[in-house]
Amino acid sequence: MNLRHKVDGQPAFVLHAYPYSETSLIVEAFSRDFGRVALLARGARRPRSALRGLLLAFQPLELGWAGKGEVQTLMKAEWQGGQPLLGGKALFCGYYLNELLMHLLPREDAHERLFATYAETLRRFADGVRESDLRRFERALLQELGYGLTLEHDAEGAPLDAATHYAYEIERGPVRLQRSGNSALSVSGKTLIDLARDDFSDPRSLAEAKQLMRALITHYTGGKGLETRKIFMELQEL
């Protein structure tokens, strides 16, 4: 993707932005058709810049950029609306989604379906955060990246049984256990079946799915702890 190209009116969200030189910003954006892109927003930190206050995370934007190489130049940004600003707990959960995308999404790799799931999850956050929304997003993310969970059958190819306990082995799938284990990757068949159906009505399934997802994400992020999780814990301690 090193050809010089020009993109216009591309639906996108800002994931993160950091200062560059005296008045500019480097924006990490998640766009619908080009995936994660790094854009240089020239002069975006000048007091009267039209971009100031616009390049806000969690807001649907339309971006235009041009150039070649890893960091391209942002030419245009337009506010799309329809997404209330996130506040409170929803804001911290939004940061969690962004941190996951920053860590796991390779640059310039289109993920249209994941983009839709991300936008939908943010819309749901505006009415308050439900844990099931987080689990759904995590599952969609792993699926899109090719780390999809095996939830149709166990590692041997036998159908899953709701009453049986499994140890979820990364890259292999659920392995039948004789009795319930107590590691993070030990789950009941029911949880796996519920997860496959995106059904989080059973609190036990929801709790087990959380443990399973956490272990998988820790694995795929290379064992690094997530900053947002650390801050979330400090928030819970209050």
- 13 or 200: CB nearest other proteins: 13
Least Å from the CB of residue 18 to other proteins: 7
Distance CA(190)–CA(182), nearest Å, equals 16
Query: What residues have CB less than 8 Å from 77, skipping those under 6 apart?
Result: 41, 51, 54, 55, 61, 62, 63, 64
Place of tokens 């409170």: 88
Least Å from the CB of residue 209 to other proteins: 23
Least Å from the CB of residue 84 to other proteins: 6
Least Å from the CB of residue 238 to other proteins: 5
- 37 or 151: CB nearest other proteins: 37
Confirm if 27 and 14 have CB atoms less than 8 A apart: yes
Using CB under 8 A, which of 4, 18, 48, 224 touches other proteins? 18
| Structure tokens belonging to residue 54 | 């616009």
Exposed, middle or buried by CB within 10 Å (0-12, 13-18, 19+), for 205?
buried
Place of tokens 């099931």: 132
Footprint of other proteins on residues 46-105 (CB under 8 A)?
A: 53-54, 56-59, 79, 81, 84-89, 91-92, 94-96, 98-99, 102
- Pick the stretch among 18-26, 141-149, 169-177, 205-213 that binds other proteins (CB under 8 A): 18-26
Per CB under 8 A, 228 contacts other proteins: yes
Q: How many residues touch other proteins (CB under 8 A)? A: 34
Confirm if 94 and 227 have CB atoms less than 8 A apart: no
Place of tokens 């506010």: 79
Query: Which residue type sits at 14?
Result: V
- Pick the stretch among 137-145, 151-159, 181-189, 227-235 that binds other proteins (CB under 8 A): 227-235
Distance CA(160)–CA(181), nearest Å, equals 17
Contact flags string 102-141 toward other proteins, x per CB under 8 A: x---------------------------------------
Among 153, 135, 91, 116, which residue's Cα sits nearest to residue 31?
116
Least Å from the CB of residue 122 to other proteins: 12
Least Å from the CB of residue 58 to other proteins: 7
Confirm if 13 and 29 have CB atoms less than 8 A apart: yes
Least Å from the CB of residue 114 to other proteins: 19
| Structure tokens belonging to residue 101 | 């995308």
> Footprint of other proteins on this chain (CB under 8 A)?
15-16, 18, 21-22, 53-54, 56-59, 79, 81, 84-89, 91-92, 94-96, 98-99, 102, 227-228, 230-231, 234-235, 238
